Amino acid sequence: MFVAVRQRAVTGDHWPYDRGYGDAYRHLASAPSTHHSKDRGCTAPGCTAPGHLCEVHHVEDWAGGGLINIDTLTFACAPHHKLLDQGWTTRKLPTGDTQWIPPPQLPLLSAGTNDFHHPEKLIGDQGDEAA
């Protein structure tokens, strides 16, 4: 069955989607809208590309056996998605944020996340200042 699921995922218009209770088929068109509500835009540090210009990236490489589920997918604009073929890696943090890790040959860069599309993280809890 696993081979059939992968074959359908590669050649068909549906893909396996694990929501914690096994594989189900979801139409590929649903992936961007799901990620738009979660990531809102490219997750690479400093990138301002909005979600409608992004591709869905597999944090756990699907070809290497990673699951396709909402928790292991993230948005990456095309230029940042290409960096992943040049030694960059990503991982999900316990907060759900995607951390981008530069390759070893770029020692001056540090790993980071992107809060640009999440102003609520930058503003913090304002509480009730009227009281």
On whether residue 6 sits in a domain, the answer given is yes
On whether residue 124 sits in a domain, the answer given is no
On whether residue 123 sits in a domain, the answer given is no
Domain that holds residue 18: 2-118
pLDDT digits (tens, 9 = 90+) for 46-101: 999 999 999 989 888 777 777 777 888 899 999 999 999 999 999 999 998 999 99
**Higher per-residue confidence, 26 vs 60:** 60
pLDDT at 20: 44
Please say if the pLDDT value at position 3 is more than 50: no
Please say if the pLDDT value at position 45 is more than 50: yes
Cα–Cα distance, 65 to 3 (Å, whole number): 12
pLDDT at 103: 92
Q: Worst-scoring range by mean pLDDT, 23-37, 44-58, 73-87, 104-118? A: 23-37
Residue 116 CB coordination number (10 Å): 19
Residue 59 CB coordination number (10 Å): 19
On whether residue 131 sits in a domain, the answer given is no
Cα–Cα distance, 118 to 66 (Å, whole number): 27
Q: For the chain, what's the residue count?
A: 131
In this prediction, residue 126 has a pLDDT band, given cuts at 50, 70 and 90, of: low
Cα–Cα distance, 98 to 44 (Å, whole number): 8
> What is the average pLDDT across 16-35?
47
Q: How many domains are contained in the chain?
A: 1
On whether residue 25 sits in a domain, the answer given is yes
pLDDT at 102: 92
